[in-house]
Structure 1
Amino acid sequence: MKRVLIAALLGGTFFGSGLAPTRADDIKIGEINSYSALPGFTEPYRKGWQLAVEEINAAGGINGKTLVVVSKDDAGKPAEAVTAANELVSSEGVAMLAGGFFSNIGLALADFAKQKKVFYFAGEPLTDAMVWAHGNHYTFRLRPSNYMQAAMLAEEAAKLPAKRWATIAPNYEYGQSAVAVFKNLLSAKRPDIEWVGEQWPTQGKIDAGPVVAAIAATQPDAILNVEFGPDLVKLVREGNTRGLFKDRAVVSFLTGEPEYLEPLKDEAPQGWIVTGYPWYGIHTPAHDAFLKAYEAKYNDHPRLGSVVGYTLIKAAAEVLRKAGSTDTDKLVGAAEGLSFPTPFGNATLRAIDHQATLGAFVGKTAVQDGKGVMVDFAYRDGAKYLPPDSEVKTFRPAE
């Protein structure tokens, strides 16, 4: 198929390469994300899904039909995300919705999907409520959840001698969920530990000085950090200046992702236990192929957002192919139990809760050649870090 269409963000509209118009039999995915609110993650994410669309259409599209992604910016606001979703469904006639970054936005889109009976494939939102407490028939999630990443990190944290722990996390759904599940999992492994302090700065508006001073005053042996993006940069700089991290263990969600580690440059912390994406050190056929294609197209290396965007649309295409239809119930049936390839290896969308088994890399931070990197890392299979089915059944509401 020579014609490749990619809908791109442009004033809430879309266009194809060469500005070719869409056709009646094109299959559309409506994609929503916080492009203007968090470009450090969402720009690589967009490049990832654009690469996926090109590859899908070059290989024959969806059962011979061209795939088009119609993309909208939610500006980091749940209300705008729901408005965008409504426009995509009612005006664009998309077969499914995909995307989302912030957890509160993901929950809003999941509720929209439930109310409107539309298939929603969440990429990034990590709160466990997406597939458990507020899970529904129409919502699926790609990335390893807070529970999964917390389980991976708690496994390492339990090995530390630290007994007094403090936490720092953004005060919204993602941060609250991450702290709660990490506390539960680590306390179960180490009943001897004590939680001595917590700080909840507003997401995107951290005042790092008082946060660092308050945590230091609790005299913790170790710190759990859930801050990311520009807030992480401010926290690390202030913490380094005041010696908060000296001789203290730090366990940190997401800090090993290039989007968040690279901006720290030579100020990157050393020895933090983190989840992340060491793209420079993964040597598997699946990742080698993805890395080669991404670098060839963009003359740049991928970030984790790139993997999420790429894998999200590739997996969505597999759902559409298997369903052989854009009927919502058929899409749900096709997605439940579906196995699909990713740059990290095969993953499965679990039928029991619609959570994918995609895993994450766990390692430690270091500085090499003036840059923050992950070292001593290993891939953790997401399927191994989920609770037993008997527990999952108690987490989800009856449908």
Structure 2
Amino acid sequence: MRVTKKLLLGAVATTAAFALAACAPGTTGGNGDGGEGDGNAPSEITVGVITSETGPLASYGEQYLDGFKAGLDYATDGTGEVDGTTINVEYRDDTGDPDTAVNIAKELIGDGVTILAGSASSGVALAVAEQAAQNQVLFLSGPAAADAITGINEYTFRTGRQSAQDVATAGTFLDDIEGQKVVVFAQNNAFGQGNQAAVEAILGAQGAEVEPVLVAEDVTEFTPFAQQVLAADPDLVFVAWAGATSGAMWQAMSQQGVLDDIPVVTGLGDAATFGAYGEASEQISFLNHYFAGAPDNDVNTAMVEAVEGAGGTPDLFTPDGFNAAIMLVQAISEGDGDVDAMIAALEGFSFDGPKGSLTVREGDHALLQEMYQVRLVADGSGFVPELIETVPADAVAPAEAG
């Protein structure tokens, strides 16, 4: 195994999410055979991975799972074992619905599971985090970006970035914004509301006036909302959007002239969205969490090769699954099946991931990581991302929760 408490050596790529299944005494179960990480590791551990395999965020769930599986295989040298403990993974589809996810989590915990991972949806992650605290199990949250997940309880850890890191990266495109008006155009869900709160906390603290334009998730006609943005007469528009309606939203923004008249900053989504902006791409400033050509390190190379070798395509949330696997292996290696010991093993844990050096902040379990400034450039009939600048992790670190 390639993991130590403070350093993941070399090109460690990691992996998967698993579910702790109850078994006969002496083989596996809630806390295994040992307590408080005393070296008496269980012979088996099952980890429950709850994420979107169907529903509006299914593509994000697929990216996460591709990274998780590739990482698990790499971190365990293809054995599926950590220091003699066999890792079993139970994958469950939450369909992007918090109630479904809670029912799955309760079922898994009832079967003796003490490690959960996954969640592409912020609403799902918040609901599962509550279950983790109530039942004292470890939860490695996935791509879900709402800031409220950070520091929500001692059992929940991030394996991806959060909205505050997006907003801070957007701020690196700007000069002094004192007195300027920023409109937050977002979906009216946990993700969008989290972005609104982050813009208010970060750009508002720099003197910006922040006004939200929030859109219900089931809306498919965006013209009235684009007109509302124009009517607000902002100096800057920060767009936070996810899911299948992205293309229709951007089309409405372009048709109504928002991109012609107002500076727009948004996050560059997964590859499926690269063509959604059309010629307006050159008018948008993109912050980015990940694309395969952004980092240049051995871990990223290993992840890309593994995912492509399995028939997949590395994308926006592939490294979140990879990080989850690294953190999972660390927890199992150091924790011997005991939840308190696994928490201690992850707090302050630094490792090399696909995005370079990452650190789990001890106080609130945020995952500190670099971010990217990106442009889209024409490539034949489509567009591809091009790196403008890498933003260091400390320049976009979120304020510590709690």
Q: Would the alpha carbon gap of residues 100 and 386 (structure 1) be closer, same or farther in structure 2, given more than 3 Å must change?
A: same
Q: Which residue of 2 aligns with 1:250?
A: 264
1:69 maps to 2:89: yes
Q: C-alpha displacement at 1:306, in angstroms? A: 1.6
Partner of 2:54: 36
Q: Quick check: 180-189 or 342-351, which moved more?
A: 180-189
* 1:238 is the counterpart of 2:252: yes
Check conservation: 2:49, 2:89, Cα contact below 8 A: yes
Closer, same or farther: CA 369–248 of 1 in aligned 2, 3 Å:
farther
Distance 1:158 1:88, change over 3 A: farther
Instruction: State how far apart, in whole Å, the 2-side matches of 1:260 and 1:286 are.
Output: 24
| Aligned equivalent of 2:304, options 291, 295, 320 | 291
Q: What's the offset of the Cα at 1:387?
A: 5.0
Q: Does 1:312 align with 2:312?
A: no
3-state secondary structure, aligned to 1:304 = coil
Q: What is aligned with 1:26?
A: 44
Q: Is 1:274–2:292 an aligned residue pair?
A: no
Following superposition, the deviation at residue 314 of structure 1 comes to: 2.2
Change (3 A) 1:8 1:345: closer
Among 191, 198, 211, the alignment partner of 1:181 is 198
Runs (5+) with no aligned partner, structure 2:
2-14, 22-26, 29-42
Q: Tell me which residue corresponds to 1:18.
A: none
Instruction: Give the Cα separation in 2 of the matches to 1:257 and 1:384.
Output: 21
What TM-score comes out, normalization by structure 2 length?
0.83
* Pairwise CA RMSD: 2.8
Report the Cα offset of residue 194 of structure 1.
Answer: 3.9
1:374 alignment partner in structure 2: 385
User: What secondary structure, in the 3-state scheme, does the structure 2 residue paired with 1:167 have?
Assistant: strand
Choose the corresponding residue for 1:51, options 70, 75, 79: 70
Partner of 1:48, secondary structure, is helix
Query: Which is bigger in relative contact order (C-alpha 8 A, separation at least 6)?
Result: 2
Describe how 1:130-209 pairs up with structure 2 within 5 A.
Answer: 130-132=149-151, 135-158=152-175, 163-189=180-206, 191=207, 193-195=208-210, 197-209=211-223
Q: TM-score, normalising length from structure 1? A: 0.83
Q: 1:79 aligns with which of 95, 99, 103?
A: 99
Decide whether aligned partners of structure 1 residues 7 and 293 sit closer, same or farther in structure 2, where only a CA change above 3 A counts. closer
Question: In the alignment, is the contact (CA less than 8 A) between 1:279 and 1:303 conserved in 2?
Answer: yes
Deviation at 1:208, TM superposition (A): 0.8
Q: Does structure 2 retain, via aligned residues, the 8 Å contact 1:142–1:358?
A: no
Deviation at 1:259, TM superposition (A): 4.1
* Distance in 2, Cα, partners of 1:336 & 1:8: 19
Partner Cα separation in structure 2 for residue 8 and residue 109 of structure 1:
15
Paired residues of 2:16 and 2:70 also in contact (CA < 8 A): no
Deviation at 1:236, TM superposition (A): 0.9
> CA–CA distance in 2 between the matches of 1:224 and 1:363?
15
Q: Are the aligned partners of 1:157 and 1:251 in contact in 2 as well (CA < 8 Å)?
A: no
Deviation at 1:363, TM superposition (A): 2.3
Separation in structure 2 between the aligned mates of residue 294 and residue 376 of structure 1, nearest angstrom = 22
Q: How many residues align?
A: 366
CA displacement at 1:204 relative to structure 2: 4.6
More helix by share: 1
Structure 1 51/99 Cα, relative in aligned 2: closer, same or farther at 3 Å?
A: same
State the alpha-carbon separation in 1 of the partners of residues 230 and 270 from structure 2: 28
**SS in structure 2 at match of 1:375:** strand
Corresponding residue of 2:36: none
Query: How many Å separate the matches in 1 of 2:176 and 2:297?
Result: 29
